[in-house]
Amino acid sequence: MSANANRVVIVTGGAQGIGEGIVRRFASHRETVIIADRQMATAEALARTLCDQGHEVIAMPIDLASPAACKALVTSVINAYGKLDVLIHNAGYFPLTPLADISEAILAQTLAVNLAAPFWLSQAAIPCMQAQGKGRILITSSVTGPRVAYPGLTHYAASKAGVNGFIRSAALELAHAGITVNGVEPGMIRTPAMENLGDTEHNAKIEALIPLGRLGMPADIAGAMFFLASDEAAYITGQTIVVDGGATLPESTAAL
């Protein structure tokens, strides 16, 4: 049995892509995992599959652009299970849009889902985690914004740079309560969302420039997330782990 068995874990955007990888990794270690996603059909199908394999996984709907919905989700989980051990905000919004064409609606949705949601989710989780004397808050950030740029993602880059600032400041505020706050910065990961960034030929060119010679997989991000949620990472807070196959190293042309 895993040393982390019976923990309660929330994963936003857990229905597919990186989120699905995270859900599968935590569920495989006998954690109770809540998939919080707006794509309920996909989330419920994943939950059924994992439950059929003997894991405890449930799907819950969430509108991450709504502060009230974010807080209601966390409160509902705490009321149902009596605790919350790991909060993972993985969901993201990033329609490829040139700066000149970004509308108020696109910018508002990007900032609400990517940057504001961690505030509302964390606020709802903090009292419970403080009472427990420990907790993990984890966020999927990105190399885009904090480290590199990508055409058509100015709005997304700004939100993820803000996420990294949130991680550092929140970690400092919550350390005294035994709550750690960390993140993972994925590079190019092979997910359905990659279709937003270009066609197959375009993505193949990017893959060829990555030092490790391949695009990342959701499992690569899930492994880093699971480590940050583990006892082995108990002394790590306010940090992000870059998982990009070496693409953002100064010598790599993939970052250009």
Q: Which residues are catalytic?
A: 156
Pairing mode of beta strands 32-37, 8-12: parallel
Q: What residues contact 143, with CB distance under 8 A and at least 6 apart?
A: 185, 186, 187, 242, 244, 247, 248
Phi and psi at residue 213, in whole multiples of 5°?
80, 15
Round to whole Å and give the CA distance between 59 and 48: 9
Round to whole Å and give the CA distance between 15 and 188: 19
The answer to whether the CB of 110 falls within 8 A of the CB of 97 is no
Round to whole Å and give the CA distance between 29 and 194: 28
Round to whole Å and give the CA distance between 67 and 63: 9
Tokens of 193: 């969302």
